[in-house]
Amino acid sequence: MMFKQLSNQRMSPTSFGSPLRRQRRGSLYVSVVMVGAMVSILGMSAVLVGRINSRAHKGLADSTMARLNAQSALRLGMLMIENDPDWRFSHTTDEWMTDVSFGDGTFSLSVTDPSDNDLTDASADPVVLTGIGKKGEAVQRLEITLAPLYRGYDCLQSAIHVRDDLKFRNATVTADHILTANDDVTATASSVSADVEAVGRLTGSHYYGSTSSDGEARTLPSTADIIDFYETNGTAIDASTLPTSYANIILNSDFETGHIPWFGASSTIAQDLSHSYEGDACLLVSERIDAACGASYDVTSLVKSGASYQVRFAVQQTTKMESYYVHLQIETTFGPGLTTAGPFTPTALDTWQTGNLYVTPSWSGDLSSAKLTITTSNTSPEFAGYGGTGDSGDDFYLDSVGMHQTGREITLEHVLLSPDSNPFGATNPRGIYVIDLQGSRIIIRNCRIYGTLVLIDPRNGSRIGDGFGVSIEPAVSHFPSLVVTGGDVDIGPSDRGLIERALGVNLNPDDAPLYPVGSDDDLDDTFSSGIKGLMFSSHDFRFRSHNSIEGVILSHQDVDIRDTFDLKYDSRYYRNPPPGFSGPEEIRLLLGSARRVTE
């Protein structure tokens, strides 16, 4: 009983408390814990909200600063364009500035041509400036478009414009655009088929276009501005590295590669490897039907009337002592002709001996052929009016033949100048080559210049063409082809053209295509002679012989034209002038072009 009673007592609520009260105490504890947790959460939330707000404010501040940095890049880019007349050519890449530190951030600037991705090819093309600003993790990109407004020199609206006098003397002139002078225009015994305008007097007769003697003076660009750009961006060719004598017009003069382009004149010729004066080979001349027969070479495109030529050679005889002669046989529109030099008489058999003879051909009319022959008679059986000797000639060996025009001048001939070709030094990607002649005369002929040639201080009487073929055109389409300062230059090419095989030079490789043939890797082409592009001189231009020009001619002094002159005007130089020839330029912000861009 007592166990039962004790058991009952243990179960008594008065002894151990009410279960309901224990439940209430547990609920209160849970509530206190929950309230504490909520307070903690609220506190942490407040801190987190503060941090988020702080980060938001910082992000907004960084974004604002990044945008201001991008705007700064655009403003700086516009300032750079405004202060640099040649801004299109002053940077080698589109990225003008990259990650420039500014405050606590950076900015970058890129400048592109949206029309063709080439800033340099057209001054009227629009330009897109993209400014990139950074601050912290914020990046902002802003873009504007500028529209250049060109106002050009009015002299570029003329096919020829001169500051002083324009003179025609014994000339036949054809031009498809107006010719102008700030002073006088005169025509003496000339035919001028072009519109002509003078500010001063206009005299003479046989003008077959409109004429005016009360024109307004036109503005020429500054010589200093022009030279400054092309000297800065060009590649100098040291005048001392250029030849000071005329080129040897004989190819394969040592017969190391066989006998071509030599040929027999009623004889048999062949390379011989058992004898030589220099090198490993010479030419054997045999089976001569006459003593006047020998070895011949075509020099049709390589000689001119009135010039004197030195012909040097080495000969060896083995059977009979004979004297040697040089014949220059020509054919013109007025008939044949022959110029002979010699004799040169060796003094011993079975030994090499050298001769030097001089010929000075002269002819009238147009030359159709010219042939050099080395033989043992002073007459030629192959030309009408000159009979042979009737005696057969013995065999002889020939080596080391040279034919040079006499005289000593700085020369540029038998070469190609282009962006990828400069036999005298480093190349230039735009084909701009600058030669400071320091008062020396230069002769430029039988060559092609695919680029911009700048001649500084040439001696008066320097010649381009010089009665031979020459081809000049800019590699950058709207650049000038010729810039001259400090001396008068005569321009007088032949209409016989350029024959690659005669010059031994490929004039149209892959990097320098030439219309209409294009490019190739052979020596089989013949090109017409002519000049394309803008030609500028601080002094006189004197045009002689057969000139065919496509472009614009500007002179700060006189232009004197004789003989045949044909000019086709190229308006690109007014519409899209090259550096140094631009008039004042306005840059306008294209309305509605400012925008924010994303990656």
Binned at pLDDT 50, 70 and 90, residue 150 comes out as low
Residue 33 clears pLDDT 60, i.e. is over it = no
Q: What is the mean pLDDT of the chain?
A: 88
Q: How far is CA 4 from the centre of its chain?
A: 125
Q: Do the beta carbons of residue 303 and residue 419 sit within 8 Å?
A: no
> In whole angstroms, what is the distance from residue 269 CA to residue 295 CA?
7
The span from the CA of 542 to the CA of 557, in Å, is 11
Q: Which residues of 544-577 are buried (b: 16+ CB within 10 A; e: fewer)?
A: bbbbbbbbbbbbbbbbbbbebbbbebbebbbebb
d(CA 100, CA 283): 70
pLDDT band at 12; cut points 50, 70, 90: very low
CA gap 446, 503 in Å, rounded: 7
Overall average pLDDT of the 225-233 stretch = 93
Q: How far is CA 218 from CA 164, 401, 427, 554, in A?
A: 11, 55, 36, 11
Domain 263-405, CATH: 2.60.120.260
C-alpha–C-alpha distance, residues 316 and 301, integer Å: 30
The pLDDT assigned to 589 comes to 82
Q: What is the pLDDT of residue 19?
A: 45
pLDDT at site 152: 65
CA-CA distances (angstroms) from residue 215 to 117, 212, 540? 41, 6, 22
DSSP assignment string, 274-296: S--SSTT-EEEEE-BSSTT--EE
State the DSSP H helix or E strand holding residue 417, giving kind and residue range, or none if neither.
strand 416-417
Separation of alpha carbons 188 and 134, rounded Å: 71
Task: Write the pLDDT tens digit of every residue in 579-593.
Answer: 889 876 677 787 778
Give the per-residue pLDDT at 257. Answer: 95
Strands 196-198 and 235-236: unpaired
Burial bucket for residue 403 (CB in 10 Å: 0-12, 13-18, 19+): buried
pLDDT score of 38 more than 70 = no
* Core vs surface per residue 149-173: b (16+ CB within 10 A) or e: ebebbbbbbbbbbbbbbbbbeebbb
pLDDT at 255 over 60: yes
Tell whether the model's pLDDT for residue 15 goes beyond 60. Answer: no
Q: Quick check: helix, strand or coil at residue 444?
A: strand
Report the C-alpha gap between 524 and 468 in whole angstroms: 19
Closest CA to 563 of 495, 497, 469: 495
Query: Which residue has 């040929």 as its token pair?
Result: 263
Q: Characterize the bridge pairing of strands 202-204 and 432-436.
A: unpaired
Domain spans, the chain: 65-151+585-597, 154-245+409-575, 263-405
Quote the pLDDT of residue 372: 95
Reported residue count of the chain is 599
What does pTM read for this prediction? 0.76
